Structure 1
Amino acid sequence: MGATDSSLAPPRDQLVGGVAPPTARHRRAEDAPAEGASVAAAPLGRTLRFELVKLLAQWRVRVALAACWLGPAAFVVAVGQQTQLPADTVFGRWMHASGWAGSLVVLGFCCTWALPLLTALVAGDAFAVEDRLGTWRHLLLVVRSPRRIFAAKALSSAAVVGLMVVGLTASSIVGGLLGGAGHDLVGLSGQHVPTGRAAGLVLLAWGCALVGALVYAAVGLLGSVAFGRSPMGLAAPALLAVVLQGAQLFPLPAVVRLALPSQVLLGWRGLFTAPAQTGPVLAGLATALAWTAVATAAAHLLFVRRDFANPTDDGTGRRALLLGALPLVGVLAASTTLVALATPARGSGIEQAQVERAVATSFAHLYRLQTEELHRPPVTEQQLATGATCDRAGGRYAAQGPGNDWRCVVTWHLPGARAVGSAVYQIDVAADGRFVADGDGPKEVNGYFTVRTPDGDQANPLWQVDGLVDLMAPPPSKG
């Protein structure tokens, strides 16, 4: 009974030093880490590749990528074949003249709605999908580091969003070139922009859009972490876009407007004025980067504090929402304070002197363009000595702030002529500084949408004038 079964004992030739080798059960026990010992996490590079494969395997992401790389080119080519142009959009009226204008029209649309929706598809569901599928335990077992999981998901989302923006950029530019309109561009001050410089400015403008897309991506990550399996995380970037679009419609103080994260998606237009309005561009970039960093840090803090051992805890709750929203409110307050201290922006940023200067500058540049169309002797802006006198509602209201009741009388001088030319414009100034001036006569100057030239009827560049008021321009001196 007490004898050892010889069939379970190892053969003598396998004994080493009189000690039998460990059995399989012993080997498993010996190979297991000691209690309290740390287990090495999976490399970040491997985890990042895994998250990229997961993202690119989703059909909706593939469809969005295909639309980004093919849609803008098809749109620009199709519009270039039409007689009616999207004249109500920035650079829309110049799409027949320059292919770079087509890329900027696409950019304006993307900055308004396309980028928030695209980032919602990618980043807004990055964490919530694991809650819905119940795969957190498996992912943590493989990666063994919540921080590396967060970093991999954040970096993969940013990479896919960047790929989408690159596709939009390349496709819109190729579409303009395929349309046969790769010519010089007319800027927002009516100035002539050579095609080489226009190409660089277009790429810089799309770079601003990429930074703005990262803001929406960071907010999407934060919403995906804070709302758990709820679809509200998926809608967070779109909701932010709706709120920011609504805020742009109100006559907010210039310092608040410049501190909004959407400023980077509007400020790029200042690159196309003469002189360039770099202040709003830099303010928008700084604010967007701050929002991206704070939203990402808040999402990381919520994620690493989550109790993954509790299968019913998906990270949602009043505390999570509070920790996610308060940092964004704080960065908005800090950005507003810094803009107020560092810039001369005051009030709405739209003052009478600023409107008069912007209208006169645009008219002078476009008058030269009309002179070239009519084959008249060339003139310079200095020779024209263009000026403008503007008021609102016939002087019934203070000449400041946005509104569609601005009226300007533009005057200029021609070399060798004693008479002073004058033209009237009805102007609609938006709260973000963009204005559209409609010509109101005389007919030979700005009263009709075409002019008769030796080469036939051509679009009259002075009939409708697009421009941009610098919200950061110093207030006019008194005296």
Structure 2
Amino acid sequence: MTAVAVAPVTAVPVARGYRFEMVKLLAQWRIRLLVLACWLAPAVFVAAVSQQSDLPTDTLFGRWMNITGWAGPLVMLGFAGTYALPLLTSVVAGDVFAAEDRLGTWRYLLVAVRSYRRIFVSKALASLTVILVLVVGMAVSATVGGVVAVGGRPLVALDGQLLAPADAAGLVALAWICVLAPTLALAGVGLLGSVALGRSPMGLLLPAVVALAMGVAQLLPLPVAVRLALPSYAFIAWTGLFTTPAQAGPLLIGVAVSLVWAVAATALAYVLFMRRDFTNLSHDGVGRRALTVAAAPLAGLLVVTMGILALVTPSTGSGIDQNKVQQSVATAFAHLYRLQTQQLHRPDVTEAQLASTAACTKGDGLVEAEGPGNDWRCVVTWRLPGVTATGQAIYQLDVASDGQYVADGDGPKEVNGYFQVRTPTGDQPNPLWQFDGHIELLSKG
């Protein structure tokens, strides 16, 4: 009898599998629509809002949208971190494996590729590529829309400093790069949900649900260690870039925590995928065991991270205290006073000459001056060269749990009241009337 030689079965290379998965993703109408929306809608939105007299002043940098084009992409970034990016990761990463379950095409894909590992890697890389295209599109579109509509003028930072256009452009780009880390964390959660929950719609919704839960947690007066242990903190920690010096500590921790979550969630998805029994056509990954394997390690990671951060971070409690608020308000006031002086064509002064200080209380002094709240009141005092009397201005503060605050001028009207200032680029509101500020939660008070 003559022996018949059997050719060895080889798996399809990852590069070919990746191209195949990219073609499948981009062939979906909803993915094409998302790409088109992310590359066009932010520019239209930012350009339209920048031309309005009624600006989104309750949004960080929103009050500067009709003054400089660099404010638009930052407003869009705040919106994206809360709403858009979680939804994008749900649609892309949350459906990349579940789609095969709904269509019943696993057996054809396995026969074509002949490698569980390469299927997983190809799908993960393809979904990551599409998410990056969407995020880059939002950043570029919002920036172009703002700069074209208003111009690349200097941007007022969160400590009152005036950032040159080149510096503002670099910080805007860096801020968008930093939010890629929490986006990858949600993408990892999406891959995990897509593998573990199969054709169940919860797999598709999991990144959005997780992001919503973490976003609600960030609004609560949680201890600093708990806040930093959530990967969603990196969606708001980029604000620390817009102070001098940059508040890089919370941002670096937020990025590191997000990357750890991204690796852990993706690794769990890989383990579940490799253990799946594809010979049973009725099995699609749904089950208590899959949910336990998926959720328990991430919950453990959260607890361990909170414990480590509680030991190594200098702040306790909310991280917001009287000394931090006073220092931040006094610094921002001094910088903005110089800006107002320049706009009113008065003799220039330095921060050292002003020697501004702030005395802040909470709840009219009836409660301890720490923690978030809208009942903060600050009296700012400063001096002018050659003038014996000291100046005073009152501000009402609304301090959020994440350290962001809005200072609203409460007199005297000539200093921090509302009036228009004529500048070479057009009339602008008095810069001392209302301003946004930032308190670093990890700094020592």
TM over 0.5: yes
Distance in 2, matches of 1:408 and 1:224, equals 50
Alpha carbons of structure 1 residues 449 and 314: separation in structure 2 relative to 1, 3 Å: farther
1:187, distance to aligned residue in structure 2 (A): 0.3
Distance in 1, matches of 2:46 and 2:219, equals 28
Distance in 2, matches of 1:417 and 1:453, equals 27
Task: Say whether the 8 Å CA contact 1:254–1:348 is kept in structure 2.
Answer: yes
Aligned equivalent of 2:248, options 253, 258, 278: 278
Name the structure 1 match of 2:145: 175
3-state secondary structure, aligned to 2:414: coil
Distance in 2, matches of 1:304 and 1:337, equals 32
| Structure 1 unmatched runs, 5+ | 1-21
Name the structure 2 match of 1:472: 442
Q: Does 1:309 align with 2:279?
A: yes
Name the structure 2 match of 1:362: 332
1:92, distance to aligned residue in structure 2 (A): 0.5
Name the structure 1 match of 2:118: 148
Alpha carbons of structure 1 residues 139 and 456: separation in structure 2 relative to 1, 3 Å: closer
Task: Say whether the 8 Å CA contact 2:52–2:66 is kept in structure 1.
Answer: no
Cα deviation code 1:111-154 (max 9, x no counterpart): 11000011111011011110111111111111111111111111
Distance in 2, matches of 1:327 and 1:85, equals 44
Distance in 1, matches of 2:9 and 2:426, equals 79
Cα deviation code 1:177-222 (max 9, x no counterpart): 2113211111011101111111111110000122221111111111
3-state secondary structure, aligned to 1:97: coil
Q: Which amino acid aligns with 2:254?
A: G
Task: Say whether the 8 Å CA contact 2:379–2:394 is kept in structure 1.
Answer: yes
1:31, distance to aligned residue in structure 2 (A): 4.6
3-state secondary structure, aligned to 1:319: helix
Distance in 1, matches of 2:238 and 2:425, equals 35
Q: Does 1:194 align with 2:164?
A: yes
Task: Say whether the 8 Å CA contact 1:403–1:429 is kept in structure 2.
Answer: yes
Q: Does 1:410 align with 2:384?
A: no
Name the structure 2 match of 1:73: 43
**Radius of gyration: which is bigger?**
1
Aligned equivalent of 1:326, options 291, 296, 301: 296
1:249, distance to aligned residue in structure 2 (A): 1.7
3-state secondary structure, aligned to 2:81: helix
Aligned equivalent of 1:229, options 193, 199, 203: 199
Aligned equivalent of 2:318, options 342, 348, 351: 348
Distance in 2, matches of 1:365 and 1:91, equals 16
Aligned equivalent of 1:374, options 319, 325, 344: 344
Alpha carbons of structure 1 residues 161 and 259: separation in structure 2 relative to 1, 3 Å: same
Name the structure 2 match of 1:337: 307
Counterparts of 1:101-140 in structure 2, within 5 Å, are 101-140=71-110
Name the structure 2 match of 1:436: 406
| Structure 2 unmatched runs, 5+ | none
Name the structure 2 match of 1:214: 184
Task: Say whether the 8 Å CA contact 1:374–1:454 is kept in structure 2.
Answer: no
1:246, distance to aligned residue in structure 2 (A): 1.1
Counterparts of 1:12-23 in structure 2, within 5 Å, are none
1:326, distance to aligned residue in structure 2 (A): 1.1
Q: Which amino acid aligns with 2:11?
A: A
Distance in 2, matches of 1:55 and 1:438, equals 48
Task: Say whether the 8 Å CA contact 1:146–1:304 is kept in structure 2.
Answer: yes
Task: Say whether the 8 Å CA contact 1:96–1:181 is kept in structure 2.
Answer: no
Distance in 2, matches of 1:306 and 1:129, equals 16
Name the structure 2 match of 1:3: none
Task: Say whether the 8 Å CA contact 2:55–2:62 is kept in structure 1.
Answer: yes
Name the structure 2 match of 1:46: 16
Aligned equivalent of 1:184, options 149, 154, 163: 154
Distance in 1, matches of 2:200 and 2:32, equals 23
Distance in 2, matches of 1:333 and 1:273, equals 31
Q: Does 1:30 align with 2:4?
A: yes
Task: Say whether the 8 Å CA contact 2:418–2:429 is kept in structure 1.
Answer: no
Range moving further from structure 2, 465-474 or 208-217: 208-217
Give the alignment's Cα RMSD to 1 decimal.
1.6
Name the structure 1 match of 2:25: 55
3-state secondary structure, aligned to 2:415: coil
Q: Does 1:158 align with 2:128?
A: yes
3-state secondary structure, aligned to 1:124: helix
1:456, distance to aligned residue in structure 2 (A): 8.2
1:450, distance to aligned residue in structure 2 (A): 3.0
Range moving further from structure 2, 208-217 or 438-447: 208-217
Distance in 1, matches of 2:182 and 2:14, equals 26
3-state secondary structure, aligned to 2:33: helix
Alpha carbons of structure 1 residues 455 and 443: separation in structure 2 relative to 1, 3 Å: farther
Q: Which amino acid aligns with 1:165?
A: V
Distance in 1, matches of 2:403 and 2:169, equals 24
Task: Say whether the 8 Å CA contact 2:417–2:430 is kept in structure 1.
Answer: no
Cα deviation code 1:278-326 (max 9, x no counterpart): 0111011000000000000010011100011111111111010011111
3-state secondary structure, aligned to 1:405: strand
1:402, distance to aligned residue in structure 2 (A): 0.5
